[in-house]
Amino acid sequence: MMAEVLRRTWAMTWKDVTVELRARERVTAMLFFAALVLFIFNFALGPDRERLAEVAPGLLWLAFLFTGMLGLGRSFQAERENECFEELLLTPGDRESIYFGKLAGNVLFMCMAEAMILPLFGILYNLDIWRHIPALALIAFLGTVGFSTIGTLLAAMTAHLRAREVMLPLLLLPLTVPIVLGSVRATDAILGGGGLADVSHWVKLLVGFDVVFLVACPLAFEFVLEE
């Protein structure tokens, strides 16, 4: 039973990854957008290195989240444009596998973008991030999972709306405030030289958020996709 769900989830993820490998639309757009965001922040805040270092964790996460949002907005685009939502629903088995498959794809694409943003960020802002990569990667992963759990659900929901481009960020950002706060605070402490032990309460919050919505969102997904 469990193996069956995993197999279906994998099929769904693999479909999205194959589409992406052939079209290279989403990840390319995300990367280019992320680079631009890092540039624009620099122009907006001026070249003062100390000031930039102070706000760097927030900037990094804004780049992550904006880029992630761009990816999430496109996660049901292929189905919508080709009008094959019904076919998606006809796939055998529980709707949960559709959700988890889409979620895995979204997390994967967002993590890929983050893996490129992080070094670029270190270089452009002259920050010594290299020693902290494992801790930063953990925080980034936990934050990305939390952001994508709600994001994938809301992307499916807003895909049918007239004002989908506007509604996704409007609904997603207020709901993910704990993720934003937790990730930014933890990143700040880690860049300041602290270890994971110093930010254990934020890590616990991120894990708690991820677990709650990993349980709640697949259940809610059934109601969203219903026709």
Q: How far is the CB of 216 from another protein (least distance, A)?
A: 6
Complex with another protein: residue 23 or 166, whichever CB lies closer = 166
Cβ neighbours, 10 Å, residue 204: 11
209 Cβ partners below 8 Å, 6+ apart? 146, 178, 179, 182
Q: How far is the CB of 211 from another protein (least distance, A)?
A: 11
Q: Applying CB under 8 A, which residues contact another protein?
A: 150, 153, 157-158, 160-163, 167, 170-171, 173-175, 177-178, 181-182, 185, 201-202, 205, 208-209, 212-213, 216-217, 220, 223-224, 226
Residue 139 to residue 145: CA distance in whole angstroms: 10
Q: Which two tokens stand for residue 193?
A: 């030289």
DSSP state of 94: -
Complex with another protein: residue 1 or 177, whichever CB lies closer = 177
What are the helix (H) ranges across the chain?
A: 2-23, 26-45, 49-73, 77-81, 85-90, 95-124, 133-158, 164-175, 177-191, 200-225
Complex with another protein: residue 29 or 224, whichever CB lies closer = 224
Complex with another protein: residue 116 or 220, whichever CB lies closer = 220
Q: How far is the CB of 227 from another protein (least distance, A)?
A: 10
Q: How far is the CB of 87 from another protein (least distance, A)?
A: 20
